[in-house]
Structure 1
Amino acid sequence: MPDNHYQTLGVARDASTDQIKKAYRKLARKYHPDVSKEADAEARMQAINVAYDTLSDAEKKKQYDFELDHPQGFTSNAQGFDQSQFYRQAGSQGQSADFSGFEDIFGRFGQGFGGADYQYQRNQRQAQSFRGEDQHASLEVDIDVAYHGANQTITLQIPSLNAYGEPEVQRKTLAVKIPAGMKSGQQIRLAGQGQSGYNGGASGDLYIEILYKHTEKLRVEGSDIYQQLNISPWEAALGQKIEIQTPDEKTLELQIPKNAREGQQLRLKDKGIPNKTPGHLYLILNIVIPPAQTEQQQQAYSAFAEAFPSFNPRQS
């Protein structure tokens, strides 16, 4: 098992926020229990969630780096959570943080450990309430959701705190309504569905990032859609009119420009994702060469070659 959160996500200690986020997404797609066939998928996903929750927060990451550099003052439990997490959370909410989490464990066994002064300080800490941390997840959906919206059910593992302030993981199944017109990368906020609060504190929020599935012929960037469009050599050369089907399953008539080139992009304004500022649909031309299987087809290629005697594609 990895020794620290950086190894869990497979990133360096100087990794940027974007690199950490990218690594988390990649691992989440691989180890999510609903899709992974790995025997330890659930345990791995728990560790991945906790690692991302720590390293994606600047204050938590700073404190975690300090603990890595000063291991003699900290300890971790078997699940990879450090016992001072509760106190680091307190610090992130504007309170002064102390790092005696390892002492608090022994304090539960009675007043004999640490004496009356220690017990009074411990009770004072437990009397405070803290809001739960916000959590982040991503949801990959088909492109038609951008046009029509959808209702999705997702299952997540949310880091939480138990009655003693120790980290644990809650498994939640949530219904998510995705409205039409969401850009790729936009987030849906589910209030109160993040990490549970401590000692009566309010729960954090859950932010779900919407991503669209990329295929060999389709990809999304923000509110713009890029779609590969296959055309014949004569359609490209002669500039013919053709019918196409857009990602929202509508049929349009399109004029191909004469002498169109492979890879050339045709922009259909406002035919991308339909939000307040509509995106565009970019058609990327892919000229498909038909095979010469019959004698007639071979003769057609011969006539084509005779019509262009000086054409050499290796010199163009």
Structure 2
Amino acid sequence: MAKNYYEVLGLSRDASPDQLKKAYRKLARKYHPDVSKEADAETRMQEVNVAYDTLSNAEKKKEYDFQLDHPEGFGSFGGQSGHSGFDDAQFYRRGAGQSGQQADFSGFEDLFGRFGSGFGGGHSQYQHDRRSKQPYKGEDQHASIEVELEIAYTGATQNITLQIPTFNAYGEPEVQRKTLQVKIPKGLKDGQQIRLSQQGQSGINGGGNGDLYIEIHYLSSTRLRAEGADVYMTVDVAPWEAALGQSIQVRTLDGSCVQVNLPKNAKNGQQLRLKDKGIPNKTPGHLYLVLNIVNPPAQSAEEQQAYQAFAEAFQQFKPRQP
């Protein structure tokens, strides 16, 4: 059997689908040949793709786990007659040597997910379909990309490059690089999909191409993240602004500025909801301001004296229990 797919992804056999997806995205960022500095990035990326394609498909995973438990009865996964999938060693060879074309990512990470059910049942199924002369529509395929959260408010047109599993004229599986121009409309919620008609796997015997579905995810940080159509943004405030309930100006992600009245004695981490100021979806989300109280440094003598006066004014305040 080829490399253990769980080891390729750094996971145990009881890993959840969410853990599988996170591991895949992490490795895709590390090894994609257009961005990676690793010497064997192309090969490692192909290994990661094949491992994820297998383990994220329930039927393939079941078959693969059975083969792990009974190694004496099988060769490389997918290479035996009567089994779905494909020969992973052949997949690696045909996927190699295709980097070097520098794509314009324009803020995108070239992250692609599992496409349909891999190669649609493998080489034997493809040859059967070709011999039958009956037209077959190509499989729909799926990709996942990450973009800046600001795009949810403005929309954007960007170029992305994907590696698409397909068949050549001889019915052999290979990886095709495809660069597409994608229009992302404003108002998409995190996790929503864009459908690109007939950009999926090629049809057989004159059948139409499948569609390509691109799932949009917004980049997040400790200060900014999206949940569906809601947006959480950390806002720094001074201690006196929080204590006195002063009005502060906040620049939102659509570029506008809003005046926000803080409640008196606002606490660190407290959330203030700005209704319908989140992602402008058909049902608009809300913008939640997460307050972060920032204490100014006491560097000059005057600043230190001000802190001393503050301490004297609040002698009864005990931040720690005795």
TM superposition score category, shorter chain reference: 0.7 to 0.9
Alignment of 1:214-229 (within 5 A): 214-229=220-235
- Counterparts of 1:31 and 1:38, CA distance in 2: 7
| Cα deviation digits, residues 218-261 of structure 1 (max 9, x gap) | 11111111111111111011111111111211100110110111
- Counterparts of 1:84 and 1:307, CA distance in 2: 81
Alignment of 1:298-309 (within 5 A): 298-309=304-315
> Kindly tell me: are residues 310 and 235 of structure 1, through their superposed partners in 2, closer, same or farther at Cα, counting changes over 3 Å?
same
Q: Choose the corresponding residue for 1:136, options 130, 142, 148.
A: 142
Secondary structure at the aligned position of 1:195 is classed as coil
* 1:257 aligned residue: 263
Alignment of 1:38-57 (within 5 A): 38-57=38-57
> Kindly tell me: are residues 164 and 65 of structure 1, through their superposed partners in 2, closer, same or farther at Cα, counting changes over 3 Å?
farther
- Counterparts of 1:287 and 1:205, CA distance in 2: 49
Deviation of 1:198 after TM superposition, in Å, equals 4.9
- Counterparts of 1:303 and 1:200, CA distance in 2: 83
The answer to whether the 8 A contact 1:149-1:180 is kept is yes
| Cα deviation digits, residues 67-121 of structure 1 (max 9, x gap) | 4444455444xxxx7335996269x99xxx8x9x7xx7xxxxxxxxxxxxxxxxx
The answer to whether the 8 A contact 1:138-1:211 is kept is yes
> Kindly tell me: are residues 250 and 84 of structure 1, through their superposed partners in 2, closer, same or farther at Cα, counting changes over 3 Å?
farther
* 1:127 aligned residue: 131
State the number of aligned residues. Answer: 288
Deviation of 1:302 after TM superposition, in Å, equals 1.5
Range 134-143 or range 273-282, more displaced: 134-143
| Cα deviation digits, residues 196-222 of structure 1 (max 9, x gap) | 345555443322221111234211111
- Counterparts of 1:56 and 1:296, CA distance in 2: 62
Q: How large is the RMSD of aligned CA atoms in angstroms?
A: 3.1
Identity %: 64
- Does 2:16 match 1:20? no
The answer to whether the 8 A contact 1:192-1:206 is kept is yes
TM-score (norm 1): 0.80
- Counterparts of 1:184 and 1:159, CA distance in 2: 26
Deviation of 1:13 after TM superposition, in Å, equals 2.8
Range 262-271 or range 59-68, more displaced: 59-68
Range 130-139 or range 181-190, more displaced: 130-139
* 2:217 aligned residue: 211
The answer to whether the 8 A contact 2:78-2:84 is kept is no
- Does 2:249 match 1:237? no
The answer to whether the 8 A contact 1:49-1:159 is kept is no
- Counterparts of 1:89 and 1:310, CA distance in 2: 72
- Counterparts of 1:234 and 1:35, CA distance in 2: 46
> Kindly tell me: are residues 275 and 233 of structure 1, through their superposed partners in 2, closer, same or farther at Cα, counting changes over 3 Å?
same
Q: Choose the corresponding residue for 1:147, options 145, 150, 153.
A: 153
Larger C-alpha radius of gyration, 1 or 2?
A: 1
* 2:99 aligned residue: none
| Cα deviation digits, residues 260-300 of structure 1 (max 9, x gap) | 11111111111100101111111111111111222222221
- Does 2:14 match 1:8? no
> Kindly tell me: are residues 282 and 86 of structure 1, through their superposed partners in 2, closer, same or farther at Cα, counting changes over 3 Å?
farther
Deviation of 1:34 after TM superposition, in Å, equals 2.3
> Kindly tell me: are residues 16 and 297 of structure 1, through their superposed partners in 2, closer, same or farther at Cα, counting changes over 3 Å?
closer
> Kindly tell me: are residues 231 and 313 of structure 1, through their superposed partners in 2, closer, same or farther at Cα, counting changes over 3 Å?
same
Alignment of 1:171-186 (within 5 A): 171-186=177-192
Query: Gaps spanning 5+ residues in structure 1: where?
Result: 105-121
- Counterparts of 2:207 and 2:56, CA distance in 1: 22
Q: Choose the corresponding residue for 2:273, options 267, 278, 288.
A: 267
- Counterparts of 1:56 and 1:235, CA distance in 2: 50
Deviation of 1:179 after TM superposition, in Å, equals 0.7
TM-score (norm 2): 0.78
